[in-house]
Amino acid sequence: MTALKSVTSKKLYMGRLKHGADLLEEITGACRKENIKLGRVEAIGAVKRARLGYYDQKTREYKFFTIDRPAEITSLIGNVSIKDGEPMVHAHVTLADDDGKAYGGHLAPETEVFACEIIIEALEGPAFNRQFDKETGLPLWDM
């Protein structure tokens, strides 16, 4: 059976990320600064370069690839929860190149911001802690 927990919206944060910053580190740093341990994230903008991942379900390992050129962030969506006692941002991103070709995957470190506008919604509710899940090999919410 699907496990759900009730949460409520607490506060919205909107802002612009620093040019040249690491996209994932900057979002995670904002959550730490504002003490956001439960939330959701969305953003649009552009990157100078990106590193994305794909989780191989057979090998249970992430495969990473780099887009070493500018791209538009057409969508970034994710969540904030706790892993090892610290806020963790888990985000997926879709990027488009100058021909409109799209690339997507798990947002990884080494994605460099050109310009990025972000919304973080802090939520209130029970803790969502990430624990190793034997079935998938992933750090999933312990429900």
Q: Does residue 93 form part of some domain?
A: yes
Query: Virtual CA dihedral for 23, 26, 29, 33, nearest 10 degrees?
Result: -140
Give the mean pLDDT of 111-140.
Answer: 96
Q: Does residue 143 form part of some domain?
A: no
* DSSP state, residue 111: P
Total length of the chain: 143
- Cα–Cα–Cα angle for 115, 119, 120, nearest 5°? 125
Q: Does residue 1 form part of some domain?
A: no
pLDDT one-digit tens code per residue, 49-74: 999 999 999 999 999 999 999 999 99
What's the total number of domains in the chain?
A: 1
Q: What is the CATH number of the domain that holds 40?
A: 3.30.1330.80
Range of the domain at 80: 9-125
Q: Does residue 107 form part of some domain?
A: yes
Mean pLDDT of the chain: 97
* pTM of the entire predicted model: 0.93
